[in-house]
């Protein structure tokens, strides 16, 4: 299942419409938390809001999270080791007061298990691909290489 969320503060109809139109081609069920928007999905199950305990349960069961660039969802994706696609709101389109979500995705892009889509085509393409989950706390290849190099230098002088 794909879990879509817009958070609880603002509507994000453009995002929900893109996912809803792509839903029949994704090959797996989609459930969306749509907030207080006016667009009503036709191709996926949805609810305006989800109880926090049920939301945790949905995240635990889902294969992929697709979300606005809210840091709460990023934290939950990391906690449950789920890949997340972030689709930031744009101030120029009236989706938020400023472009802090664009700054958020710029800071997170390329991190393990996090994927960024800035336009509809990128979002749909990412939803159709298998995506790797975030690494666990113990799995950090760059950090591990650095630690080995430091240990080798200290122990062997090289």
Give the residue-averaged pLDDT of 40-50. 96
Statement: residue 143 has pLDDT above 70: no
Specify the long-range contacts of residues 36-39, CB closer than 8 Å, at least 24 apart: 36/10, 36/11, 37/6, 37/11, 37/12, 37/13, 38/11, 38/13, 39/13
11 pLDDT band (50/70/90 cuts)?
confident
Structure tokens at 9: 């503060």
Statement: residue 45 has pLDDT above 90: yes
The pLDDT value recorded for residue 115 is 96
**In terms of Cα–Cα distance, which of 85, 69, 81, 80 is closest to 123?**
85
The pLDDT value recorded for residue 119 is 95
The pLDDT value recorded for residue 64 is 97
Sign of the C-alpha dihedral, residues 145, 137, 80, 88?
Answer: negative
pLDDT in tens, 80-105: 999 999 999 786 666 566 667 767 88
Whole-model pTM above 0.85? no
pLDDT in tens, 56-69: 999 999 999 999 98
Q: What is the mean pLDDT of the chain?
A: 88
């Amino acid at each position: 299942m794909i879990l879509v969320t817009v958070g609880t503060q603002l509507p994000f109809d453009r995002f929900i419409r893109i996912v809803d139109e792509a839903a029949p081609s994704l090959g797996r069920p989609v459930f969306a938390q749509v907030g207080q928007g006016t667009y009503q999905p036709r191709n996926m199950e949805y609810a305006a809001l989800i109880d926090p305990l049920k939301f945790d349960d949905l995240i635990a069961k889902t294969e992929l999270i697709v979300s606005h660039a809210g840091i709460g969802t990023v934290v939950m994706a990391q906690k449950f080791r789920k890949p997340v696609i972030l689709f930031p709101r744009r101030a120029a389109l009236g989706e938020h007061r400023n472009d802090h979500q664009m700054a958020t995705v710029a800071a997170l892009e390329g991190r393990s298990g996090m994927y960024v889509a800035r336009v509809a085509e990128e979002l749909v393409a990412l939803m159709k691909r298998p995506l790797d989950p975030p690494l666990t706390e113990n799995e950090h290849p760059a950090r591990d290489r650095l630690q080995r190099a430091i240990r080798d230098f200290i122990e062997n002088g090289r």
